[in-house]
A and B are shown apart, each in its own frame.
Chain A
Amino acid sequence: DTAVSQTPKYLVTQMGNDKSIKCEQNLGHDTMYWYKQDSKKFLKIMFSYNNKELIINETVPNRFSPKSPDKAHLNLHINSLELGDSAVYFCASSQSDRVIAGELFFGEGSRLTVL
């Protein structure tokens, strides 16, 4: 039973298109994240939601819009895709409280290729 699941696993699309990636976690966690991993394997936080509230919004173009309909789901919509958006996008979740950082659980990633 997959803990953090993302769909789709692969996305190939043309520049200028709009695409979405969906994420669901069944761990009962209250915090979810989107990370971007580029071709050099660098992992960078993009967004984080705690109890459906946006708490981290890194320097990301506003073409990227996250949405958390409930604590178990976090989606990522990308408008007007550019070549530089090609990367692997990881969803993650954690049960962190206000004092102690907890383990991050990652999904298997969604590889986006923009042509």
Chain B
Amino acid sequence: QQQVKQSPQSLIVQKGGISIINCAYENTAFDYFPWYQQFPGKGPALLIAIRPDVSEKKEGRFTISFNKSAKQFSLHIMDSQPGDSATYFCAASIGGTYKYIFGTGTRLKVLA
């Protein structure tokens, strides 16, 4: 129940295309859903996050879609660029527990 399932494991997209990464969870107590971006040799960095009171959040080319009833959320990267090539992690947390459960990661490669 504490798992967050992420797919796909890897993704190759042409420059200018849309990258979509999906995550699913079981625990309805989760109330914070961030996405982290990790470049090789670096630590993960927060990209965008959403709380379950909204169904969508957009920041620039990055959008989180959240479906509370289906217990799913996804990251959409519009107009994907080679500089977006990185590993992306979804995560979920429950406020006050200090515990963040990470998905297994998606390696995105954007071809020039």
Contacts and interface: CB of A to CB of B under 8 A. Distances in A.
Interface in B44-80: 44-46, 49
Interface stretch (A13-21, A66-74, A76-84, A98-106): A98-106
A97 B16 CA distance: 40
A106 B102 CA distance: 14
Interface string B93-109: 11111111010110100
Contacts, number: 71
A94 B36 CA distance: 14
Interface residues of A, number: 29
B66 to A, nearest CB: 15
B43 A96 contact: no
B95 A109 contact: no
B78 to A, nearest CB: 23
B100 A107 contact: no
Contact of A45 (B36, B41, B99, B105): B99
Contacts of B41: 108-109
A101 B100 contact: yes
Most-contacted residue by chain B among A48, A50, A100, A104 (CB, 10 A): A104
Contacts of B19: none
Interface string A17-55: 000000000000001010000001111110010100001
Contacts of B85: none
Interface of B: 31-32, 34, 36, 38, 41-46, 49, 87, 89, 93-100, 102, 104-105, 107
List the 8 shortest-distance A-B pairs measured between CB atoms, nearest first. Answer: A106-B43, A101-B93, A101-B32, A43-B102, A98-B96, A41-B105, A100-B95, A101-B95
25 contacts: A4-B43, A40-B104, A42-B104, A42-B105, A43-B44, A43-B105, A44-B102, A45-B100, A48-B99, A56-B99, A92-B43, A96-B96, A96-B98, A97-B95, A99-B95, A100-B95, A100-B96, A101-B97, A101-B100, A103-B46, A104-B46, A105-B46, A106-B36, A108-B42, A108-B43
